[in-house]
Amino acid sequence: MEPLSAQALLTLLQSEGISASLPHNAVPWTADSVCIDSRKARKGALFVPLPGIHVDGHDFIEKALAAGASGFLADHGRTVPCSEKAIFVEDTKEALFHLAVAYRKTLRLSMVSVTGSVGKTTTKDFIADILETSYTVGKTEGNYNNELGLPLTLLNLDKSHTAAVTELGMSALGEIERLSLAAKPDIGVITHIGTAHMEHLGSRKNIAKAKLEIAASMQEGAPLVVNGLEPLLLNRPETKHLRVLPVGPEGSFLWAKDIVQDIAGTHFTVCGAASFSVFLPIPGLHNVQNALLAIAVGLLLAISPEKMVSALQNAVPAAMRQRLYQTGGVTILEDCYNASPDSMEAALDVLKDLPGRRFAVLGDMLELGAHTEQTHRALGRKASETADVLVACGESMQFAVEEAKWAGCQALHVTKPEAAEYLAGQVSPGDSVLFKGSRGMRMEEVLDDFLRKAGLTREKREAH
């Protein structure tokens, strides 16, 4: 963040209609970063204490100041230490959001915002990799894509940045619109409409409606790059004011041909608005689509094909996402960060083409509501077509195991410790193992336990 005095921060908050005030005993101070965790406070930080279910950030103000924080926000009426370094507001969480909204308006850069049911993080990272060849880029780190994460991302930008790539997540209608109004994207990207968050939204139509809220703050004629393979994203009234660029189908803005996959990655040729060959060191046809979305953004921001090719061939998956490597002769596909029906299917399609006996070690898909049983049964049928053995953990996986067994696939419904024990006794050099499940299942624990029991190491390199 650009250095801002307490008075400047107050002015920004008030410009967004936030009731904010300095105490009568205020002293001058300046902040150049923002944090919400006192353990991460450093010299020059603005500490924003947030109320929680079990703890209240206001109780850690003194700790943040001791770590070097310059000042802090606090709720009106609270008795706080070092009140001379406070800015008092009605609600610290709302104040953080609106501070980011106001600060974003001071930045002069190219803003790209990405949303979608699956592929958001991968596509965001591909876009950032491409833009970094010609711009100074800030981006959403990890999954900081909600009403807390996005403000922190925006407030982490400064005048040295010439471009930013933000990820917009949601679990209900209205959330993407709010985030889009904060980010104010110059270019929007929608990766996919899947079935994640069905528990809250009920249908893919409603999910599409939620994702299309990204258009709410985009200017007339601004480009919106969308997955052209998804009819729910085409010819929508929400995007009539935008330049919609479909990607994927032949004849669209961009598409791919001559796709060749092997254990090292995927080769393909880009067609349409540009024509060149790409090697992507990350498995899966779904990642070809993600790369095309990123290439479309690169073209819009005048990145040369040569620079894009170089960026993509050096792309590295984010932690616990689509990491393919070998250890002790065993091929590991580590994709533990999260799971939805669509991403499970994509991961199983990658497993299908890997060598040796193929073990699918899968955990429950969460937040599917009334669709839980049918989606897990469909997953079991898919696993029977792509894996030799299904090792399933979690209550809902009983349905997947039933379907896989009926289809003639060897399938086990076990606890996570039992899964690791079974794998350690069954997996041999030359075999391939996929680990995947929703974040709440923490399937990386099964992977770690298996590797430990089998005497293998958790390497982080692509398999060859």
What is the per-residue pLDDT across 85-97, written as a single tens digit (0 to 9) for each? 999 999 999 999 9
**Cα separation of 387 and 373, whole Å?**
20
What is the per-residue pLDDT across 107-157, written as a single tens digit (0 to 9) for each? 999 999 999 998 999 999 999 999 999 999 999 987 789 999 999 999 999
Residue-level pLDDT at 197: 66
**Cα separation of 233 and 115, whole Å?**
12
- The mean pLDDT value of the chain amounts to 94
- Residues paired with residue 20 on neighbouring β-strands, in sequence order: 89
Sorting pLDDT into bands at 50, 70 and 90, what band is 367? confident
Average pLDDT over residues 176-205: 90
What is the per-residue pLDDT across 287-317, written as a single tens digit (0 to 9) for each? 999 999 999 999 999 999 999 999 999 998 8
**Cα separation of 174 and 99, whole Å?**
20
Q: In what order do the strands lie in the sheet with 358-363?
A: 323-327, 330-335, 432-436, 358-363, 389-393, 410-413
Q: Helices 285-300 and 120-131: crossing angle, nearest 10°?
A: 40
Query: Phi, psi (5° rounding) for residue 280?
Result: -115, 115
**Cα separation of 12 and 14, whole Å?**
6
**Which residues neighbour 32 within 8 Å (Cβ) at sequence distance 6 or greater?**
1, 2, 3, 4, 44, 45
DSSP calls for 242-301: SEEEEEESTTSSEEEEEEEEETTEEEEEEEES--EEEEESS--HHHHHHHHHHHHHHHHT
Sorting pLDDT into bands at 50, 70 and 90, what band is 464? very low
What is the per-residue pLDDT across 396-455, written as a single tens digit (0 to 9) for each? 999 999 999 999 999 999 999 999 999 999 999 999 999 999 999 999 999 999 999 999
Residue predicted with more confidence, 342 or 410: 410
Three-state SS for 351?
Answer: helix
DSSP 44: T
What are the b/e assignments for 166-186, b being 16+ CB within 10 Å? bbbbbeeeebbbbbbebbbbb
Average pLDDT over residues 204-221: 95
Q: Among 373-377, 379-383, 454-458, whose mean pLDDT is lowest?
A: 454-458
Strand 86-89 with 20-21, pairing: antiparallel
**Which residues neighbour 314 within 8 Å (Cβ) at sequence distance 6 or greater?**
129, 281
The pTM (predicted TM-score) of the whole model is 0.87
What is the per-residue pLDDT across 442-463, written as a single tens digit (0 to 9) for each? 999 999 999 999 999 876 444 4
Domains of the chain: 4-100 (3.40.1390.10), 107-313 (3.40.1190.10), 323-454 (3.90.190.20)
Interior angle at CA 351, CA 249 and CA 318, nearest 5: 75
Q: How far is CA 315 from CA 94, 126, 164, 323, 431, in A?
A: 36, 7, 18, 11, 25
**Cα separation of 420 and 435, whole Å?**
11
